[in-house]
Amino acid sequence: MRLPCQLAQRLPRLRIRDWYPRDRFPSHPSVTHRFLTAAGGNTIDYLWTRRNLAILAALFKEITAVTDADLRLQLLSAFVQSLHLCSKMVIPRHAAANRDFSGSWGRPDYMIRRRQMEQNPVDVFWRSCTGRQGVQPMMRDAVARFPNGIDIHDARTAGKVRKSAQINYGSIDVADLDDYLAAESVDFVITDPPYAGLVRYLPLSVVWLCWLEHLDRKYKPDLKSEITVERGNPTSRQHYRRRLRNAFKQVYRILPDEVAW
């Protein structure tokens, strides 16, 4: 009989039979030597403890084996919501939060703190499926709002939006926005600017995209496409301002001349 401490010592060498991402962390100023040292290695799998990685790999295998395409997509949505909350970057909430056994990604950055909390991936995944902000309540809201179904169109496939569709979606370069949307064709725009590198959206998205890329190469992030500027990044401040100004011009073009603020 093995004692718990002996089993714990074996965890770093735990053999994982299912697929999991092993790519190197992106070469980016946000991924520092200090972070890699704290994580324990320079590949993405070091974001998670070995036992959490084993559970996540097993979950991913089961989800991708689901034959119902809609259900598989919904489960994948819950899965990617769980990944960062099961990583080594999570810290336990303070007692004042009154949320025992709960953790959070304290600040969106590649950083491992002294205070850490290893959350159970199964519990986190279940909350992502059925919790207040989970996939199941979201789908119920969608059914209530669109009782006759939702016509969803991938605008990238035809290079334009479809007016008859209730939802048009697609990840595109804002510089190409005029290829998809006509002038004054949008009532309002919700945007989250890049803040000159204060929040590293694209490099951080590798946490989720490294799994989805295994299913479709379209999820492979292009870090050079990000409009940002920061120390160690070759993009000049002038180039950053020029690209950001062009982005706002594109957004302004698709809005009507008179907007009620």
- Tens-digit pLDDT profile for residues 96-129: 777 777 788 877 789 898 888 899 999 999 999 9
Q: By C-alpha distance, which of 133, 136, 244, 130 is closest to 192?
A: 244
135 vs 232, which has greater pLDDT? 135
Domain that holds residue 124: 12-150+182-254
Determine, yes or no, domain membership for 176. no
Considering Cα of 73, then 77, then 80, then 85, what sign does the dihedral take? Answer: negative
pLDDT band at 241 (very low <50, low <70, confident <90, very high): confident
pLDDT at residue 231, rounded to an integer: 59
Structural domain includes residue 158: no
Mean pLDDT of 201-230: 84
Q: What is the pLDDT of residues 67-95, one digit of tens each?
A: 999 899 999 999 999 999 999 999 888 77
Asked whether residue 173 is domain-assigned, the answer is: no
Q: Residue 194, exposed/middle/buried by CB under 10 A (0-12, 13-18, 19+)? A: buried
Q: How do residues 24-66 score in pLDDT, each as one tens digit?
A: 998 888 889 999 999 999 999 999 999 999 999 999 999 999 9
- Examine residue 160 and state whether it is found in any structural domain, yes or no: no
Highest mean pLDDT (candidates 106-110, 139-143, 196-200): 139-143
166 is a domain residue:
no
Number of neighbours of residue 173 by Cβ within 10 angstroms: 12
Which band of pLDDT confidence, cut at 50, 70 and 90, is reported for residue 9? low
- Geometric angle at alpha carbon 254, from 250 and 256, rounded to 5°: 135
Residue 17's CB is within 10 A of a number of other CB atoms, namely 8
d(CA 204, CA 167): 26
Q: Is residue 261 part of a domain?
A: no
pLDDT at 141 over 80: yes
CB–CB of 74/135 below 8 Å?
yes
Q: What share of the chain is helix, strand, coil (3-state, %, to 5)?
A: 50, 5, 45
Query: Residue 172's Cα: distance from chain center in Å?
Result: 16
107 lies in a domain? yes
User: What pLDDT is recorded for position 45?
Assistant: 96
Average pLDDT for residues 204-226, to the nearest whole number?
A: 87
Of 206, 202, 176, 197, nearest to 239 (Cα)?
197
Highest mean pLDDT among 5-14, 128-137, 157-166, 194-203: 128-137
Which of left, alpha, beta for 214 (phi over 0: left; psi -120 to 50: alpha)?
Answer: alpha
The confidence score (pLDDT) of residue 213 equals 94
Range name among 13-22, 55-64, 152-161 with the lowest pLDDT average: 152-161
Q: Report if residue 163 sits inside a domain.
A: no
- Give the number of domains in the chain: 1
Q: How far apart are CA 166 and CA 153, in angstroms?
A: 8
pLDDT value of position 235: 59
Q: What is the mean pLDDT of the chain?
A: 84
